[in-house]
Amino acid sequence: MKPSRSHQVAAVVALVGFWPGLNVGMFPAMARTVPPPARVSTFRVDPTPQRNDVAVFLDREIFPELFRLLRSATKRIQIDYFLLSGEVGLQIARILGDKVAQGVDVRVMLDSKRGLGGPLATGTAKVIALLRAHRVPVSLYPIHLFGAAPNRMQERLHIDHNKLIAIDGRVAYIGSMNLHDRAMTNHDLMIRVSGPTATEVSAMLDAEWPLGAPVDGHSVAPSPPPTEPGLPQGSSLMRLTQTAPQEKNTKALLLGEVRRARRLDLAMYLFAEPELLTAVCDAARRGVTVRAILDPRMTSTAKYGSIGRLVPNGMPNLLAARDLLAAGAKVRWYIPTSQDQESHMKLLLVDGTKVIAGSTNWTINSFVRWRDTSFALEGPPVTRFAAMFERDWQQAQLAEALTFRQGLIARLIAYMNGHDLGFW
């Protein structure tokens, strides 16, 4: 019998001694839900940047602003989030319960894997139970609308990775911070948006809500009439991009920006997508200044339990480090400032004047089969992102040539990319 590709790569890893005992069966069993009818949202993002009022929130600023926004709602709260778990998840659930009691229409959509496994899954279950006790509608994103994942490992990690909140159809909170206790220490970002793009986020969530699977069979109430588009305001130009069953346009926008750029600064949690990596390397070779801060991927074991223990340190960012260094780019590793901290951003600064960020990692899955949303932004807030990058660059560790072992891991990452086996 011919072995499956997932078992082939497991054999490759075992031979080089990095993943002893890898078995896709080690991934925790996921609760399956009955999928709704196979409909797909028709929502597509507006490709034209609109004027919005935008404020940036970094690291410890993120959660106080989140709580303030939730408490400020008078009509509606819409949430689509990958991870909502732990004590911070319970705190959010209590706020949402209070809002339901006040007559606010609250809707929460979560990833169907409900935390993947281990403590995150246990914490997610507690949050969902508290939400339902407070009569907050909770639905699971219909990830099956993307089609089947290519192998069992990727099926286990096939996720709704969004981090989206809309308040009263007028304000949106969007970025890359997850809502669980250990995420709170991460180096991360969110933006608060007021204006037409916030209304667009609300419309996106309205379009997907009827497609979800209610966690306990409660009926899905129809969405209220759409909010009138917010008037252009502020001095920031912003547009959305998305990876969704009906539209996948984030990578195309990134490739266009990279190919036109004179300077590229990127801070990346996961970077392994071959076409984008080639484009950034080509830019460095033609004289574009390229600086990359990569997360060292050293905390997976502590933060993600059994799944994390299977992942060698540096995966998948060692491939990007190897190729960028060979192309003449400047590469540094983010240095955590607290235990288990990760640089969780997915940030590109183009010529110091434009930011592209959001939930979308630079990986095949994020551009093809994970539900993700990002934004492109020009205007005054970019200066804060640029200042943050400069601080991080000065504090980061210079990346040197890969060791022999790291080189083998980089080759393994390239092999997995080439055979669509990357689970990142």
Tell me the per-residue pLDDT of 50-86, one tens digit each, with 9 for 90 and over: 999 999 999 999 999 999 999 999 999 999 999 999 9
What torsion do the CA atoms of 204, 206, 212, 214 make, to the nearest 10 degrees?
140
Direct distance between the N- and C-terminal alpha carbons of the chain, in angstroms, rounded to an integer: 28
Q: Are 212 and 109 in contact (CB under 8 A)?
A: yes
Helix axes 118-133, 86-101, angle to 10 degrees: 10
Say yes or no to pLDDT of 407 above 90: yes
CA 290 to the chain's CA centroid: 23
CB atoms within 10 A of CB 67: 14
Least trusted range by pLDDT, from 218-222, 361-365, 382-386: 218-222
Percent of all residues in the chain with a pLDDT value above 90, rounded to a whole number: 77
Q: What is the mean pLDDT of the chain?
A: 89
CATH of residue 410's domain is 3.30.870.10
CB atoms within 10 A of CB 270: 22
Question: Diameter of the chain by CA atoms?
Answer: 63
DSSP tag of 53: E
3-state helix, strand, coil in the chain (%, to 5): 40, 25, 40
pTM of the model: 0.90
CB atoms within 10 A of CB 314: 22
Beta bridge partners of 187: 343
Structural domain includes residue 345 = yes
Q: Are 407 and 322 in contact (CB under 8 A)?
A: yes
Burial of 337 (0-12, 13-18, 19+ CB in 10 A): exposed
Reduced to 3 states, what is the DSSP secondary structure of residue 63?
helix
Structural domain includes residue 40 = no
What is the rounded distance in angstroms from the CA atom of residue 175 to the CA atom of residue 165?
10
Structural domain includes residue 27 = no
Structural domain includes residue 291 = yes
CB atoms within 10 A of CB 177: 25
Structural domain includes residue 39 = no
∠ CA 6-152-139, rounded to 5°? 155
Residue with the two structure tokens 């004289």: 287
In terms of Cα–Cα distance, which of 91, 77, 156, 80 is closest to 123? 91
Report residue 339's pLDDT band, with 50, 70 and 90 as the boundaries: confident
Cβ-proximal residues to 297 (8 Å cutoff; 6+ apart), any chain: 311, 313, 314, 315, 316, 317
- Structural domain boundaries, residue 200: 5-22+48-418
Structural domain includes residue 29 = no
CA distances from 146 to 45, 215, 335, 367 (A): 18, 20, 36, 12
Q: Are 329 and 284 in contact (CB under 8 A)?
A: yes
pLDDT in tens, 188-199: 999 999 999 999
pLDDT in tens, 11-49: 444 434 444 334 444 344 444 444 444 588 999 999 999
What is the rounded distance in angstroms from the CA atom of residue 330 to the CA atom of residue 283?
12
Say how many domains are in the chain.
1
What is the rounded distance in angstroms from the CA atom of residue 54 to the CA atom of residue 180?
24
What is the rounded distance in angstroms from the CA atom of residue 19 to the CA atom of residue 12?
9
What is the rounded distance in angstroms from the CA atom of residue 364 to the CA atom of residue 273?
5
Structural domain includes residue 28 = no
Beta bridge partners of 241: 374
Question: Quick one: residue 17, left, alpha or beta (phi over 0 = left, psi -120 to 50 = alpha)?
Answer: left
pLDDT in tens, 106-140: 999 999 999 988 899 999 999 999 999 999 999 99
Structural domain includes residue 326 = yes
| Per-residue confidence (pLDDT) for residue 391, from 0 to 100 | 98
pLDDT in tens, 242-285: 999 999 999 999 999 999 999 999 999 999 999 999 999 999 99
